[in-house]
Amino acid sequence: QYMRGTVTAFAPFDARADAEALRKAMKGLGTDEDTVLTILTTRNNAQRQEIASAFKTLFGRDLVDDLKSELTGKLETLMVSLMRPAYIFDAHALKHAIKGAGTNEKVLTEILASRTPAEVQNIKQVYQQEYEADLEDKITGETSGHFQRLLVVLLQGNRDPDVGVDEALVEQDAQVLFRAGELKWGTDEEKFITILGTRSVSHLRRVFDKYMTISGFQIEETIDRETSGDLEKLLLAVVKCIRSVPAYFAETLYYSMKGAGTDDDTLIRVMVSRSEVDLLDIRQEFRKNFAKSLYQMIQKDTSGDYRKALLLLCGGDDD
């Protein structure tokens, strides 16, 4: 699989040497944050796991526990997030989105709209292993209505495979969506849920074009007018990810930093989860759509070692 991440396997790699450097950076009074963040942002996740294992072998200490006791605030969150294996990372984020009072619909939307069917199957499996609970049960217990139904459809991870596009079915789906929304008094949400939740990516891209031809509207405009709340956000996220996952994440990052205050949870989650997948493409889309680079925006919006670590993950400026 061809990856477009900013973080790749570091060479020459020596897990023991890295473990020793980290121990030295955190031992005694004060912490050498620079060493910690430089090592952890420039090794890929598989290498970080090897470092953690070498750390335990050499010092009988847990690297993540040490990071938690030596670092604070956003830098701590970022470094601890980097130490989670990718498949556990999503399961952990979902667990926290549905834990306790109030559900974080934003996290459910972002992860389930953007992950591939194979990734969704993987997340469910890991969730079951890690938390001895069924992710679908947990999510249905915390959500309701059409929003819940679309989440359940996405959780099946059963999107049609991308094999050829049947133009007759494209026409039919576009007409069904048109009749379920613009042509109808009220909206038939179920049709939107079924078509957007199960058809293949290349099929849906053609459906969106055909929809525009038939209705004179972009599908996003119709969703905006015909639905509201969490369902609207989830449908829009699905459409954006069908069009382009990197463009969806570029927009997510942009809005996490735009305006007053920064949504650091989202910023950290996206930077960590995409750093080995498609962050180079996200940077490109960011530059194209927002007239500034992701690097510049992080630089302007964050500070200290946290900023330094995010900029290392970002991997360069696009100006």
Contacts of 241 (CB under 8 A, 6+ apart): 113, 114, 248
Q: What are the tokens at 140?
A: 């249905």
pLDDT, residue 99, reads 86
Is residue 238 within 8 A of residue 196, CB to CB? The reply is: yes
User: Which pLDDT value is given to residue 1?
Assistant: 52
Contacts 24+ apart (CB under 8 A), 126-130: 126/87, 126/88, 126/90, 126/91, 127/91, 127/94, 127/95, 130/88, 130/91, 130/92, 130/95
Q: What structural domains and CATH numbers belong to the chain? A: 15-86 (1.10.220.10), 87-156 (1.10.220.10), 167-243 (1.10.220.10), 246-314 (1.10.220.10)
At 2 the pLDDT is: 57
What are 211's two structure tokens? 């929809």
The encoded tokens of residue 175 equal: 């007409």
Spatial CB neighbours of 266, under 8 Å, sequence gap ≥ 6: 106, 110, 252, 253, 256
Are 22 and 35 spatial neighbours (Cβ–Cβ below 8 Å)? Answer: yes
Among 187, 266, 198, smallest CA distance to 228 is for 187
CA 281 to chain CA centroid, Å, is 14
**How much is the pLDDT for 186?**
77
pLDDT at 86: 86
Cis, bond preceding 161 (omega within 30 deg of 0):
no
Neighbour tally for 128: CB within 10 Å: 13
Its pTM stands at 0.95
Indicate the burial class of 89 (C-beta count within 10 angstroms; 0-12, 13-18, 19 or more): buried
Q: Is 191 exposed, middle or buried (0-12, 13-18, 19+ CB in 10 A)?
A: middle
Question: CA 247 to CA 283: how far, in whole Å?
Answer: 9
Helix (H, G, I), strand (E, B), or coil: what is residue 134? coil
For the chain, the farthest-separated pair of C-alpha atoms sits apart, in whole angstroms, at 70
Q: What's the pLDDT at 64?
A: 98
| Closest among 300, 312, 271 to 35, alpha carbons compared | 312
pLDDT at residue 60, rounded to an integer: 98
pLDDT tens for residues 18-41?
A: 999 999 999 988 999 999 999 999
CA distances for 240 relative to 99, 113, 114, 249, 252, angstroms: 27, 9, 9, 9, 11
Read off the amino acid at residue 245. V
Which residues of the chain are modeled with pLDDT < 50?
none
| Average pLDDT over the chain, rounded to an integer | 96
Q: What is the distance of C-alpha 7 from the center of its chain?
A: 16
The answer to whether 41 touches 312, Cβ cutoff 8 Å, is yes
Given this model, what pLDDT does residue 79 score?
98
Give the C-alpha distances (Å, rounded to integers) separating 293 from 105, 280, 284, 316: 28, 12, 8, 9
